[in-house]
Structure 1
Amino acid sequence: MSIFSQYKEPIFLNKSSSLQEQIDQLKELEPKLNEVGREKVKKDIKLLEYGLLGENSIIYELQNSHMPLYILHDVYFEIDGFTAQIDFLVFTPKLCFVIECKNLYGNITVNNDGSFSRKVYFGSRYISEGVYSPITQNERHLQVIKKIRLNQAGTIKKILINNAFDITYKPIIVIANSKTILNTRYAPKNIKSKIIRADQLIEYMKTEYNASKISPSSDKLTRQWAESFLACNQTNITDYLKKYNPYIIEEPERLDKDTLYQKLKEFRYETAKAENIAAYIVFNNKTLDALIEKHPTTLEEIKETPGFGEVKVQKYGKAILDIFLGNTSKQKQPS
């Protein structure tokens, strides 16, 4: 039975993306890092956004496939010490497609031994580098999927799963970047057949589905199949932010209001004495209270405090900021 004999649209059983969550976490972390850390985070955010763009291109293809599919996006499995973060599991009445999305850039070559390499134009020359094989990555995903399936089955069904696993679960590497030059001329046939471009995905799935000799399941059983894996989806507790710990700028201990009040009064007194002016000219009590309430951490925030303009910020801003940041040992009276 052809998959197109049913008038049913694809259904996403979940649409979450850990990539977006990581991007949001890094953007929140960025202001807390030193200059080196911020540069690293910016590069990582760009790579994650690039990966998210690739996933979205696959989502678009699947949404517009007009095929009866049940889709799991970005699922994480953990079983018997093995883990797998899988971009897409796509369930049809016959087959499950295990999709690894790669939004690679540059010229990608798959060599005759199945290894991946990339050539990128950088400055005025090309730089070649090895790329971790997405084929190997997807094979590990299949191992985890098989463990989950066997764990769900009884003794007799385990035999059926073992016998039919390789013809039921189809791994695909999808190159999402349309500008990527992909050279698979010398790649082994069994590897070459698993690597396609995003715009070829639906046609590939149709061909594989129609060529399969497996008897199609009902819509109800297909959905149950997909939901059995969705039930195994877990939250990935990997701490993606841990590697940035060495670059975090430690925040100074926040002084209490009474201490701040005393230090600001001392600063005002010493400044007025040094400049031979009345203390209120430096700043009056109303402005002092406003400073404590605002607790500024930048010169711009001091400038926003009533009683402070550009001139006063230039004269006293740095010294006042040092008080709030706890840098009293560095504090100097204005000349």
Structure 2
Amino acid sequence: MSIFDKLLNKRTITSPIFLKEFDYNNKQLQDLNDLLEKVNDAKKNLINRDIFFIKQELYGEKNVYNELKNSFIPMLAVHDIRLEFNDYVAQYDFILITAKCIFVLKTKQLNGDIDITEDGDFVRIIKNKEGKFLRKQGMYNPISANEKDAHILEEILHREKLLNSITLKPIVVISNPKAIINKSKCPKNIKSNLYKYDQISTLIKKVLDDSKYAKELSEKNMYEIANYLINNNKEENIDYISRYSLDKVRNLQLNNVEKHVDLNEKEIELSQNNDDPKQSEKSNNNEHSEVYELLRQYRWNKSKEEGFKPYMVFNNEELNSLIEAKPKSKEELLKVKGFGPKKVEKYGDAILEILNK
């Protein structure tokens, strides 16, 4: 390479540049806090619980963000990106674009002691307040979920001709400083892709110093990738009316609620008259609301147990389809949109139990 070429390719990215910054007060948190002031006490507990979990996740992501921000690593970074590709939806906590490698980071706020077996199974050790062993509990492998999301990102970037030969590396970052992870017996692919947040800078520097990462992206290409991610970020539109079964006026203090929640007038009964002649219709709606809440609660519990987002168990559209179809067996459940053999095998029994109570 000539001196002239070297000058043209002079690197100007010398430290972390966040093109989409971490924001603790994200839209979902703001929406829930606004909604909290408008609902009755029966729904406040549900919303407060969701706010607590979101704050926990954001606290962990802030730990990772601070570590990256102070790493002095030359890279472009984006936080909280959601991409849609074919029938897939992928959520990325952090995507780090360096000249030699793109890092796909999923943060996990794991609590307690986690053992990883030789087979790659994640096992949580449950203890009481005194630290005495109570039981073991299996949990979802976050490595697998992140690898799938990284593969989707790679497919998208190849399709858009933004990526040729450099590597994408998925990493799960444990953002809870008190978590204890035992990796002594786990498979090599898990051991190399799972780190505590205070180790992430050292890991990235080690990867970038590795001689096998010889090919480099131009800074122009790096910015093209980052801008593509930002421009194609699809924020999730959450239906809070359905999530919290807010289809009745008695669940809402209607003064000024229209300023905060997009309510469909057809979904709200403006009359609170107990002598409504459509009593059977009301009873049916109450039953649907109860089933909806039970399914939503199951989805939330399962997502926390397995370590990924609730929509990956089943999304709101699929949830509504379940209530409408009312399947009585796994064969009928397979006919519901979004429920293939794997999902039915994994969640079918529990879903049918809720629907058929």
TM-score normalised to structure 2 length: 0.61
1:13 aligned counterpart, secondary structure: strand
Q: What does residue 138 of structure 1 align with?
A: 146
Residues 22 and 251 of structure 1: is their aligned pair in 2 closer, same or farther, counting only changes over 3 Å? closer
Q: What does residue 97 of structure 2 align with?
A: 91
Counterpart residue identity of residue 152, structure 2: V
Separation in 2, partners of 1:19, 1:252: 25
Residues 139 and 23 of structure 1: is their aligned pair in 2 closer, same or farther, counting only changes over 3 Å? same
1:245 aligned counterpart, secondary structure: coil
Unaligned runs of 5+ in 2: 1-10, 256-270, 276-357
Separation in 2, partners of 1:251, 1:61: 42
Separation in 2, partners of 1:241, 1:131: 30
- What pairs up with 1:1-335 in 2 under 5 angstroms? 8-15=14-21, 17=23, 20-122=26-128, 126-153=134-161, 161=164, 164=165, 168-211=167-210, 212-239=212-239, 242-245=242-245, 249-251=250-252
Separation in 2, partners of 1:226, 1:82: 20
Counterpart residue identity of residue 154, structure 2: K
Counterpart residue identity of residue 146, structure 1: E
Separation in 2, partners of 1:253, 1:39: 19
Counterpart residue identity of residue 234, structure 1: K
Q: Answer yes or no: is the 8 Å Cα contact 1:51–1:103 preserved in 2.
A: yes
Which 10-residue stretch deviates more, 24-33 or 193-202?
Answer: 24-33
Which 10-residue stretch deviates more, 213-222 or 92-101?
Answer: 213-222
Q: What does residue 279 of structure 1 align with?
A: none
Counterpart residue identity of residue 234, structure 2: Q
Counterpart residue identity of residue 136, structure 1: S
Separation in 2, partners of 1:226, 1:51: 23
Which 10-residue stretch deviates more, 212-221 or 245-254?
Answer: 245-254
- Aligned residue pairs, count: 247
Residues 58 and 247 of structure 1: is their aligned pair in 2 closer, same or farther, counting only changes over 3 Å? farther
Please identify which structure carries the higher helix content: 1
Separation in 2, partners of 1:86, 1:104: 17
Separation in 2, partners of 1:243, 1:100: 25
1:104 aligned counterpart, secondary structure: coil
Residues 247 and 213 of structure 1: is their aligned pair in 2 closer, same or farther, counting only changes over 3 Å? same
Q: What does residue 306 of structure 2 align with?
A: none
Q: What does residue 6 of structure 2 align with?
A: none
Per-residue deviation, 1:218: 3.1
* % identical aligned pairs: 30
Residues 252 and 44 of structure 1: is their aligned pair in 2 closer, same or farther, counting only changes over 3 Å? closer
Q: What does residue 316 of structure 2 align with?
A: none
Per-residue deviation, 1:26: 1.9
Separation in 1, partners of 2:169, 2:199: 15
Separation in 1, partners of 2:106, 2:178: 18
Q: CA RMSD in A?
A: 3.1
1:190 aligned counterpart, secondary structure: helix
